[in-house]
């Protein structure tokens, strides 16, 4: 695998239609982007950022930034490259789990982590930020609580369906 360059060019899609997925001319250039014409990492730049996270983690003696959460299936295979699925401006906040507008060039991307055979190991949201002339990956560890609408309370039963004013609905 080629070594990551020290600097990345800052590129942006030519046109993005709000609310619709937009693709680059070449499939390996940009991931699908949503609703904003800002700078995004290309597929190659995302892989360079992944390599930089490995290099910086080896120097510090820790795990790579994007892999602290690890493979949720507990696989013994290690990711060797990434593929961007979709990107959008802003950063995933670790405390709230919400996307927050960030100062500077920051995007969050749904990222597939691939093994040596290009099989997808897992998909996680990764923050990418442009700093010192290169894209870099930032650790994300959002809360893993179940969303409140997954198991909602049931609606109150209507005990008067026979009433002359018809079927009543709940006020909320």
How do residues 70-84 score in pLDDT, each as one tens digit?
Answer: 555 555 678 999 988
The rounded Cα 55 to chain-centroid distance in angstroms is 21
The pLDDT assigned to 136 comes to 92
Residue 115, in any domain of the structure? yes
Q: Work out the average pLDDT over 107-116.
A: 90
Which of 126 and 28 is assigned the larger pLDDT? 126
Instruction: Give the separation between CA 45 and CA 126, rounded to whole angstroms.
Output: 14
* 55-70 residue pLDDT tens: 776 655 555 544 444 5
Instruction: Give the separation between CA 131 and CA 90, rounded to whole angstroms.
Output: 15
Cα R_g (the chain), whole angstroms: 21
The pLDDT assigned to 68 comes to 42
Q: Work out the average pLDDT over 7-21.
A: 66
Residue 26, in any domain of the structure? yes
Instruction: Give the separation between CA 15 and CA 19, rounded to whole angstroms.
Output: 12
Instruction: Give the separation between CA 81 and CA 101, rounded to whole angstroms.
Output: 27
Quote the domain boundaries for residue 98. Answer: 21-138
Which of 31 and 52 is assigned the larger pLDDT? 52
Q: Work out the average pLDDT over 78-100.
A: 87
- Looking at the structure of the chain, the number of domains it has is 1
Residue 144, in any domain of the structure? no
Which of 90 and 75 is assigned the larger pLDDT? 90
Instruction: Give the separation between CA 7 and CA 9, rounded to whole angstroms.
Output: 7
Nearest Cα neighbor of 131 from 95, 107, 101, 110 is 107
Instruction: Give the separation between CA 89 and CA 111, rounded to whole angstroms.
Output: 14
Which of 157 and 27 is assigned the larger pLDDT? 157
Residue 72, in any domain of the structure? yes
Q: Work out the average pLDDT over 101-116.
A: 89
What mean pLDDT is reported for the chain?
74
Please return the burial class of 82, using the count of CB atoms within 10 Å of its CB with bins 0-12, 13-18 and 19+. Answer: buried
Residue 166, in any domain of the structure? no
């Amino acid at each position: 695998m080629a070594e990551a360059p020290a600097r990345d060019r800052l590129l942006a899609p030519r046109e993005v239609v709000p609310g619709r997925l937009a693709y680059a001319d070449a499939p390996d250039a940009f991931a699908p982007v949503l609703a904003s014409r800002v700078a995004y990492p290309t597929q190659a730049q995302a892989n360079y950022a992944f390599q930089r996270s490995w290099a910086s983690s080896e120097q510090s003696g820790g795990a790579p930034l994007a892999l602290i959460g690890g493979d949720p299936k507990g696989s013994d295979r290690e990711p060797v490259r990434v593929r961007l699925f979709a990107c959008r401006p802003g950063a995933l906040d670790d405390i709230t789990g919400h996307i927050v507008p960030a100062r500077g060039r920051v995007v969050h991307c749904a990222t597939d982590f691939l093994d040596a055979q290009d099989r997808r190991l897992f998909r996680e949201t990764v923050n990418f930020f442009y700093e010192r002339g290169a894209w870099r990956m930032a650790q994300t560890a959002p809360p893993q609580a179940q969303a409140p609408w997954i198991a909602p309370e049931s609606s109150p039963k209507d005990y008067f369906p026979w009433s002359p004013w018809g079927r009543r609905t709940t006020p909320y």
